[in-house]
Amino acid sequence: MSWGLNNRLNRVLPGLANGTGSVMFAIDHGYFMGPTSGLENPKDTIVPLLSYGDSLMLARGILQSCIPQDCSLPIVLRVSSGNSILNEDMSNEELCVSTEDAIRLNVSAVAFSIYVGAEYEHQTLVEFSKLINEAHRYGIPVLAVTAVGKQMNRDLRYLSLASRIAAELGADIIKTYYCEDFSRLVNVCHVPVVIAGGKKIPEADALQLAYNAVSDGASGVDMGRNIFQAESPVDMIQAVRSVVVEGVSPKEAYKKYKSALK
Ligand code: 5RP
């Protein structure tokens, strides 16, 4: 691994260096969900949260139009797209942002979705591999967002299949969902694994989810809706951070979150 790639990876996941988790903050939802609740006006709602994340995952347009140019947070740029929530099968994605543009945007990593077991599995895996060829030439780490086919459960069997495939193809970070026996998934991937938060759940449950994931070996979270759709996003990202980075118990973090709301 080149020094540049390693350096970028450690900026995206600073916890790797000191054995803690890291907080990646994901706001890329609009690339297939449109004006997602909580992200209607990212400039107002997201900018106050930036100082509490370790890195920010988003799509090109929002980066260019909503994120201040003096932002020092490492950027993880979504480079796959090609479908919307209106489609039955959402796997028809391709590489849509060049590595040249990613470099121009000064990103620290790029993110691409693979859809294992879905109609366009082959296309996404081949495009993903080609992205790795290109991004690694310039020392840019690649994060694999592992989606599984619609008919498959998000359980250990399918999520570890997708995650291990991504690792075998050369991913530098795997993003997947938490599942039962999650430590077994982490153990079959030789690169850092982070979890998505998924749909909004009660704040106490989201903190427990983050805690379970890190306890089971995740290198952190790449969380979106459970932060920006929380009753108080700025308090929630701090609560998530306390659990993931500082090892505070989810109960304690929730207590602090609740008292900050008053
Ligand atoms: C969409 C993504 C999102 O970034 C991801 O799902 C994280 O957000 P959330 O915590 O809201 O699930 O990769 O494909």
Q: Domain coordinates of the chain in residue numbers?
A: 3-261
- 51 vs 129: CA distance, rounded Å: 33
Pocket residue to mutate for ligand 1, from 87, 112, 145, most atoms within 8 A of Cβ = 145
Helices vs. strands in the chain: H and E counts, helices first = 13, 10
pLDDT in tens, 180-219: 999 999 999 999 999 999 999 999 999 999 999 999 999 9
In the numeric block, which tokens belong to residue 23? 């907080």
Residues forming beta bridges with residue 114, ordered by sequence position: 146
Eight-class DSSP state of 97? S
Is the CATH number of domain 3-261 3.20.20.70?
yes
Query: What share of the chain in percent tops pLDDT 70?
Result: 100
pLDDT confidence bin for 147, thresholds 50/70/90 = confident
- 208 vs 27: CA distance, rounded Å: 21
Whether 175 sits among the annotated catalytic residues: the reply is yes
Does residue 225 contact residue 29 with C-beta atoms inside 8 Å?
yes
pLDDT in tens, 68-127: 999 999 999 999 999 999 998 899 999 999 999 999 999 999 999 999 999 999 999 999
Q: How many residues appear in the chain?
A: 262
Pocket residue to mutate for ligand 1, from 27, 29, 80, most atoms within 8 A of Cβ = 29
